[in-house]
Structure 1
Amino acid sequence: MSKALFIGAWLLAWTVAPAEQINAWLDAKYEEQLDLSPMARGYAGEKKDYDKIDDMSEAAADRALEWQRKSVEELKAKFDRAKLPPDAQLSYDLWIYQYEDAASLAKFRRNVYVFDQLYGPHTRIPQFLMQIHSVDAPADMDAYIARIGGVARAELQLLEIAKKNAAAGSRVPRFSYVAMIPQARALITGAPFGGQGNSAVWNDVQTKVDGLAKAGKIDAVKADAYKAAARKVLLEQWKPAYEQLIAWFESEVPKADAVATGVGKNPNGKAYYEAMLASSTTTQLTPEQVHRIGLNEVARIKGEMEQIKQQVGFQGTLQEFFKFVREDDRFYYPNTDQGRQAYIDSATAHIAFMKQQLPKYFGVLPKADVVVKRVESYREVAGAPQHYYMSTADGSRPGVFYAHLLDMRAMPIPQLEVIAYHEALPGHHMNFAIARELTDIPNFRKYLYINAYQEGWGLYTEKLAKEMGAYKDPYSDFGRLTTEIWRAIRLVIDTGLHSKGWTEEQSVKYFLENSPAAESQIRAEVQRYIIMPGQATGYKIGMMKMEELRKRAETQLGSKFDIRGFHDTILGRAQMPLDLLDQRVDRWIEEQRAR
């Protein structure tokens, strides 16, 4: 071997070996971490600990945080960051970031709203059981029945924490309890609990047991035995747990604020909000800075809306145009099953169009498919935001774009196209599916959720879709601006509620004055911001960073700029805080220059 080849081989070994070592260590640690959360394994499509629901106690949370702290100590002792190649350094930084973010928020345990009307565990954990727990063999049904009891236990653990937090001064406003009561009741209404029809969980039990019987994996006697066992645990454990939840929700209604506002009024609430803001944006922006960014963006986007108003020939003010788009029947599907199916069909068609455009803008594409579904009746809320549910790494479970279709007057047609792109392609599904399908990063990175990155990407792709040939109807383009100003309004309202003491009604008024969104949609949005402090700020902050990075790359690379390479750089190593994304894009720019 020549001296040059020897030196090259030595350098390769020097750079690859530390990366392999830290990746192996991180994968082993992530396996330990997953042992603390059987549900996380379920979301990943794994069947280890398939009969368990997570321990939701505060003691378990303490153990998990202490485990993270020790793992960071071990990471720093075992590996010299300076000697790692760039992607391994990123893994190193992300492992530490996860712990530091969790430790920062753990200081505010008593400030957390445990249950809420949108993503509360009273609906989220049953959804996990029914949507994520697949039954392919008799052992899976045994595990399902065990998990029914686990759901009941977890709900009661969370109820104890919610009671402590409410006693400490952190309870959701009245509207949230009022919405949660029927949600919880729906999960114990119908067979086998009583009332007309079947409950959602009983339907699921029967479907899964009958599926095993149809496949010849169990006989009729075993099928009946499974149904009897499920009925027993539903009546003896699930139902009493939900009755306790309902009784507590009802007892809280008179104690909760009828005039809803943010968390700033709660004990230690302003400090809690600042921590949530930092976590949600992955920046050190103050509430006042975020508020001002929002005001500036609202003013800018309204200027673009004026242009579309003129394009369609509307005679009147922008406020009058808002009223027209908000109220005219042509902009809504009928509030019928046919109207709901038309919405789903239209969203599916837009996603199909986008699939054809993707190869022009992305080098790496997801293998898993994405489908559109209506939110299940037991957790559906009129006007609530559409959302995405992740696919599995092997593509056996597609990603799902879920739409709340209870009230079609809260689902304006001009916004349909842009929301399909945000939730499915090239938005959330693109990001989550590609991350899960990567084979050369530590496993923990495939499942990281960084709010500003993920939601910033979703909002960035809404605008990108226009470049890709979408929004041929000017009203759909106006819908795109409607959702962008909506995210700018979030910066104003979220900080207004939690830092400036705005009320729900003040927030609804500001939203109505600056957006054509339907009033029921607006009210549901504002109520979301109230119970999820800080989360809504990640969208616009993340989008603005990604646009800044793209402009930087285009300016510095000129004719060398490749849009596919840029997007693969953003998506190709999974999610990360915005400062680390900034560094990654800078490295890519330097690599392109060197070529």
Structure 2
Amino acid sequence: MKTTFSLLLAALSLPAGLAVAQTQPTKKTTPPKTAATSATASAPLAALFDEYWENRGRLFPLGATSQGDNRYNDQLPNDQTRAFRQQQQRFYQQYLSSLQKFDRARLSAGDQVSYDIFEYEMQSRLNGLQQNTWMMPFAQFYSLPNTLGQLGAGTGAQPFKTVQDYDNWLARVGQFPVWADSAIANFRQGMQAAVVLPRVLVLKTVPQLQAQITADATQSLFYGPITRMPASFSEADKTRLTEAYQQAIATQLVPTYRKLADFLQTEYLPQARTSTGLDAVPGGADMYRYNVRLMTTTDRTPEAIYQTGLSEVKRIRAEMEAVKNQVGFEGDLPAFFTFLNSDPRFTPYRTPEDVLTAFRMIQAKITPNLPKLFGRTPKSQFEIRQTEAFRAATASAEYNRGTPDGSRPGVFYVPILDATKFNTTSGMESLFAHEAIPGHHYQLSLQQENTSLPKFRRFASYPAFGEGWALYCESLGPELGLYHDPYQKIGALGDEIHRAIRLVVDVGMHAKNMSREEAIQYMMANEPISEQGATAEVERYMAIPGQALAYKTGALKLRELRTRYEKQLGAKFSLRAFHDEVLAGGSMPLAVLERKLDAWAARQLAR
């Protein structure tokens, strides 16, 4: 599974009930009153964008932390209240109204792109607040309790360099118990309205919470910063902070995790639903249609997306058959999949470090070829790390962006539960191209390093663009020097068909009455995936309806545009220039991207 979740949920354009890293309402501010209608509107428009971003950081401080803005690291406001949802509604409506005072037709081309993205963002957020997803506050894939674990371990976005940093974290976790009480209240309202999570998701969420319950504070994940306390701290500060962290773990964190786990286990689980899809809950069909629009940034219907998925699965299966025949395997595709999953030659590793070294070798292989495809490269540093043990069982390989100032590198996380079972045919080369380089690392780093963009664009995240780009990068494998080994090629095709299958099973489960079990079987019949892997994937789609549609939707659009411009421009087409232009403006809705790239192609043709 390939995604960019965890802390990035704070910055994603998710509906109210999914955005787990949100915060306290800020004081109402007055937007610029200039109804700019001249070609000189860029300055007041820029002021509007700056003011929005400044206030957004106050409203969503966990998002600010993930982006390296540490001014609000002591805050964890209660985003589970009706008052907070109302505050968001006022906030987005205020800025939408202020934007619409500008005459878009008289703005510069660059400002028109910003206008379109901002308008889309405000309208999308407002539409999301109309959904009842707040009645399902978290599950195993979107969880503030999990996010706190990543932050509090001391190796994530929350800094632990100064005494103030340590005190900031104490203040932040001190607000967790109130948040948890409100989340439980929302779960209970959902129980009354029959807007509840599937039972299988609750069963996966409870152990995550229980993992943070320990009688010995020094054994807690949250004690990590104390074990790595800077030597420069005074003895008095070391003593005070050690005692304070032990106290916070024993009296705030552990009791809160226990309360959440006990509630879900004893009170919520008996009323959790046995159905699979979101359309099984009241209002669920509307929720799903909203999620489809949100995640794909298109108006495509679920049925149209489903048919695209069936077509893509058929096409990619034919390519997999060709590779099967190339390696001389006798038998059908399901038998070939079993061979790939079971033959010892494909599990050569003994330690987690062996796996990480293999990924570093892939990086070394593609590095010489990158200048052929990209004129711009990130300044941000890049690391490959093993996923932390506490979340590895339910995690996928993922990329966490670094900070714009370079103080924290971009990190490619690889979950390695058992190195001896890590399969080389799982698509290691395509995985690296997607999650790491040139996929998410290039896209996210270049975006946030581009200081000419308004901050709301530097840190924007639209899954159809970001995940679409990363999946498109997998198709660049041959141009990057990858997939010479047919078993890595089958891994890449496995990854591609995986995203096509998502179109079928996501829509199937949430709009066409496909059961969890039918979805698992469909995946296993069409790709080399274990039952355990297919189950984890299907349960992810159950937890985050529509998100899995973004990958193929975005990648197909990028390939469509590249093919269009190759034909239109002929000898004037430069693949390097095309890639640079795609990445230059950062993440955006696909319709905005298409207009922007059409204008770019027209400029190339005119030269």
TM-score, normalised via structure 1 length: 0.91
Q: Tell me whether 1:394 sits opposite 2:405 in the alignment.
A: yes
What is the alpha-carbon distance in structure 2 between the residues aligned to residue 250 and residue 26 of structure 1? 44
Aligned to 2:73: 50
Aligned to 1:119: 142
What is the alpha-carbon distance in structure 1 between the residues aligned to residue 314 and residue 94 of structure 2? 48
Contact 1:294/1:492 (8 A) holds in 2: yes
1:71-115 Cα offsets, whole Å, 9 max, x none, are: 1111222x2111111110111111111111112222112476322
Residues 346, 481 of structure 1: alpha-carbon distance in 2 compared, 3 angstrom cutoff = same
What is the CA distance between 1:357 and its match in structure 2? Answer: 2.1
What is the CA distance between 1:535 and its match in structure 2? Answer: 0.5
Q: Tell me whether 1:403 sits opposite 2:414 in the alignment.
A: yes
Aligned to 2:219: 198
| Among 408, 429, 433, the residue aligned to 1:421 | 433
What is the CA distance between 1:352 and its match in structure 2? Answer: 3.2
Alignment of 1:191-340 (within 5 A): 191-192=216-217, 198-207=219-228, 210-211=229-230, 214=231, 216=232, 218-251=233-266, 252-257=268-273, 259-333=274-348, 338-340=350-352
SS at match of 2:89: helix
Q: Tell me whether 1:443 sits opposite 2:455 in the alignment.
A: yes
Amino acid at match of 2:406: G
Amino acid at match of 1:35: R
What is the CA distance between 1:221 and its match in structure 2? Answer: 2.4
1:329-357 Cα offsets, whole Å, 9 max, x none, are: 222255xxx43222122112212333332
What is the alpha-carbon distance in structure 2 between the residues aligned to residue 112 and residue 555 of structure 1? 49
Contact 2:135/2:186 (8 A) holds in 1: no
Aligned to 1:412: 423
Residues 592, 112 of structure 1: alpha-carbon distance in 2 compared, 3 angstrom cutoff = farther
Contact 1:39/1:54 (8 A) holds in 2: no
What is the CA distance between 1:407 and its match in structure 2? Answer: 4.7
Aligned to 2:20: none
Percent identical across equivalent pairs?
Answer: 33
What is the alpha-carbon distance in structure 1 between the residues aligned to residue 576 and residue 149 of structure 2? 40
Contact 1:322/1:516 (8 A) holds in 2: yes
Contact 1:149/1:233 (8 A) holds in 2: yes
Q: Tell me whether 1:575 sits opposite 2:587 in the alignment.
A: yes
| Among 492, 497, 500, the residue aligned to 2:509 | 497
What is the CA distance between 1:190 and its match in structure 2? Answer: 5.4
SS at match of 1:371: strand
Q: Tell me whether 1:158 sits opposite 2:173 in the alignment.
A: no
What is the alpha-carbon distance in structure 1 between the residues aligned to residue 177 and residue 383 of structure 2? 30
Q: Which has the higher helix share?
A: 1
| Among 128, 140, 149, the residue aligned to 2:174 | 149
SS at match of 1:528: helix
Contact 1:101/1:279 (8 A) holds in 2: yes
What is the alpha-carbon distance in structure 2 between the residues aligned to residue 400 and residue 63 of structure 1? 34
Residues 409, 153 of structure 1: alpha-carbon distance in 2 compared, 3 angstrom cutoff = farther
Q: CA RMSD in A?
A: 1.9
Aligned to 1:103: 126
What is the CA distance between 1:299 and its match in structure 2? Answer: 0.2
Q: Tell me whether 1:91 sits opposite 2:90 in the alignment.
A: no
Amino acid at match of 2:97: E
What is the alpha-carbon distance in structure 2 between the residues aligned to residue 132 and residue 280 of structure 1? 25
Amino acid at match of 1:254: P
Contact 1:111/1:170 (8 A) holds in 2: no
Q: Tell me whether 1:62 sits opposite 2:91 in the alignment.
A: no
Contact 2:220/2:249 (8 A) holds in 1: no
Deviates more, 1:262-271 or 1:401-410: 401-410
Aligned to 1:11: none
Aligned residues: 566
Contact 1:508/1:523 (8 A) holds in 2: yes
Deviates more, 1:272-281 or 1:397-406: 397-406
Structure 1 stretches of 4+ moved >3 Å: 14-17, 110-113, 407-411
What is the CA distance between 1:232 and its match in structure 2? Answer: 1.6
Unaligned runs of 5+ in 2: 1-36
What is the CA distance between 1:269 and its match in structure 2? Answer: 1.0
SS at match of 1:284: coil
SS at match of 1:48: helix
What is the CA distance between 1:513 and its match in structure 2? Answer: 0.8
SS at match of 2:64: helix
What is the alpha-carbon distance in structure 1 between the residues aligned to residue 39 and residue 420 of structure 2? 57
Contact 1:333/1:340 (8 A) holds in 2: no
1:101-155 Cα offsets, whole Å, 9 max, x none, are: 1122221124763221123222113313431111222211111211221233333
1:273-329 Cα offsets, whole Å, 9 max, x none, are: 111111111111111111110000000001111111111111222222122112222
1:10-58 Cα offsets, whole Å, 9 max, x none, are: xxxx998432332232112210121112212211112212211243133
Residues 204, 157 of structure 1: alpha-carbon distance in 2 compared, 3 angstrom cutoff = farther
Amino acid at match of 2:212: L
Aligned to 1:21: 44
Q: Tell me whether 1:170 sits opposite 2:195 in the alignment.
A: yes
Aligned to 1:565: 577
What is the CA distance between 1:473 and its match in structure 2? Answer: 1.0
Contact 2:152/2:221 (8 A) holds in 1: no
1:431-450 Cα offsets, whole Å, 9 max, x none, are: 11111100101011011110
What is the alpha-carbon distance in structure 1 between the residues aligned to residue 387 and residue 192 of structure 2? 33
Deviates more, 1:505-514 or 1:149-158: 149-158
Contact 1:121/1:155 (8 A) holds in 2: no
1:444-484 Cα offsets, whole Å, 9 max, x none, are: 10111101111111100001122221122110011000000
SS at match of 1:72: helix
Amino acid at match of 2:461: Y
What is the alpha-carbon distance in structure 1 between the residues aligned to residue 46 and residue 506 of structure 2? 39
What is the CA distance between 1:411 and its match in structure 2? Answer: 4.3
What is the alpha-carbon distance in structure 2 between the residues aligned to residue 349 and residue 165 of structure 1? 49
Residues 220, 150 of structure 1: alpha-carbon distance in 2 compared, 3 angstrom cutoff = same
Contact 1:129/1:147 (8 A) holds in 2: no
SS at match of 1:132: coil
TM-score, normalised via structure 2 length: 0.90
Residues 341, 166 of structure 1: alpha-carbon distance in 2 compared, 3 angstrom cutoff = farther
Amino acid at match of 1:569: E
Aligned to 1:139: 164
Amino acid at match of 2:100: K
Aligned to 1:74: 98
Deviates more, 1:406-415 or 1:157-166: 406-415
1:146-167 Cα offsets, whole Å, 9 max, x none, are: 1221233333333322332233
Contact 1:30/1:444 (8 A) holds in 2: yes
Unaligned runs of 5+ in 1: 1-13
| Among 457, 479, 484, the residue aligned to 1:472 | 484
Aligned to 2:59: 36
Amino acid at match of 2:366: M
Residues 111, 300 of structure 1: alpha-carbon distance in 2 compared, 3 angstrom cutoff = farther
What is the alpha-carbon distance in structure 2 between the residues aligned to residue 536 and residue 407 of structure 1? 26
